[in-house]
Structure formats: C-alpha cells, structure tokens
Amino acid sequence: MLNGICILPVIPMRKIKSDTSEMINQVLFGESFKVLKKQNKWSYVELFHDQYQGWIDNSQYIITKKNTQNFIISNKKYSNIKIKSIKQPLLLGSFVPQNKQLRAQINIEENLHFCTIKPVDIWFKKIANKYLNTPYLWGGRTPIGIDCSGYTQMVYRFFNIQLPRDAHQQEKKGAELKSIQKIKVGDLAFFEKNKTITHVGIIIGKNKIIHASGKVRVDLINKKGIFNLESQSYSHKLKSLKRIFNY
C-alpha cells in the first residue's frame, strides 16, 4: 500500500471526489496517510494520526517511501518553511518531519526553534488562546479557519493527546465528570441538540469555555450550557463533561 504526505500549507479533504464537494476535513503540512485508492485525479486516503478518511487531489501531495511518525509540532502561530526552495507558511499545529531521508525527499529547508510547552496548566491556556478570533470553517483545522472539533483536536495535539476528528467521537473519550463544580482547565464540554452531539469546547476557567462558534471565542458555561456574552443568551445545551488527562 502507498503512503503519502502533505507538502503544502494545508489541503482540503473532500466528501466525494470533486472540487465542488463538501470539505469534511483538512490535511496540514507534514501529516501523512495511507493511500487506499488512487485514480486519475483523486486519491482516497486515511490519515495516520486519527484514521479519518476522505478524498484529496493527487497534485497536492507526494508519495513517500515509508511512513514515519518522527516529527516536531509547530507551536508558532506565524512561521515559514522552504520546500524545494519555495517559501511557504507553516501553519500552527503542522508537523515538521525529522527523518533525514524524508526531509531529503521533500527538500525541506528550515531552522525553526519551538517553545517547550510546560507547565501544562499554564501552556494549555496559551495554546488555546492562539486560535482566538479564528473564523468558523466547516472541516477547518487551522488558525485561518476551524470548526469546533477541529479546534479541540488541534489544541490537544500540542500535549501529545490525539483526539478523534469529530465531536461525537471525542465524547467517547476520557472520564465523565458528574458535576460542573469539578471542572478544571483542559476538560472538554459536549453539547447536544435533539439528543445528538453537535458541539464541543474546552474549559479554560471555573465558569469559562473557549470554543469555535462563529469564531473561536470565550463564553460562560454553567450546568445549563453556554451563555453567549455577546447575545446575552444561551447558545448550546450541555450534554456531558469529560476529563481527557490529568496534570
């Protein structure tokens, strides 16, 4: 089976093999995948980091000799990288391959230094806040555009925790919290409509949540749900609270 890697800043993953199809996800620079089907213009792929599947354009990735999970996560909001002597943006949360053979194949030129994100309780807020005011984009996973579960997945990535792609999948992870009084920074809150998980956000304070709704924003949360500070009304009904990790 063939393996591939994204060497552009970000590429769309489509629901069906068409440029006009719904974008269900994005593949960031350095993310690799299995090529399950390869046709004239399109490939059906499965990402290694979360097993998400979809169609991508053949011209937007390259085949690699082998899969390697040896990489550094870019935790700078603004930086650049050279690929085949062409300067391009390196978006927050991208993977920078460290394997020498792979770097030679891609022809990477970079001399970037990234922050050590410890202690976690302080850096969790810092990383989460790097996405503030990012516009909501269905299928998005970058500071240019992001959706609610793409946002939570990306923030947790910096702390070596790989969440699934979609909110209903993420809700199955972690330990359930029975009371909102027990929440702490980094816990996930899930919200429902007609008994279906429709939204997810990250607790960043005793009664505060950061989430992608219109844009990445901070609102209040209580046992009823999210209270939107701009509209002065409830926007999402609380379904469950989960603790994904302890620190």
- Catalytic residue of the set 49, 115, 168, 199: 199
Does residue 125 sit in helix, strand or coil?
helix
Q: Is 236 a catalytic residue?
A: no
What one-character-per-residue DSSP string does 142-204 give? Answer: ETTEE-HHHHHHHHHHTTT----SSHHHHTTSSEEPS-GGG--TT-EEEEEETTEEEEEEEEE
Q: Is 148 a catalytic residue?
A: yes
Q: Is 113 a catalytic residue?
A: no
- Catalytic residue of the set 115, 168, 211, 236: 211
Dihedral, CA of residue 206, residue 212, residue 218 and residue 221, to nearest 10? -40
Contacts of 26 (CB under 8 A, 6+ apart): 10, 11, 12, 13, 139, 140, 141, 142, 150
131/186 Cα distance (integer angstroms): 15
Q: Backbone dihedral region of 214: left (phi > 0), alpha (psi from -120 to 50 degrees) or beta?
A: left
Catalytically active residues are 148, 199, 211
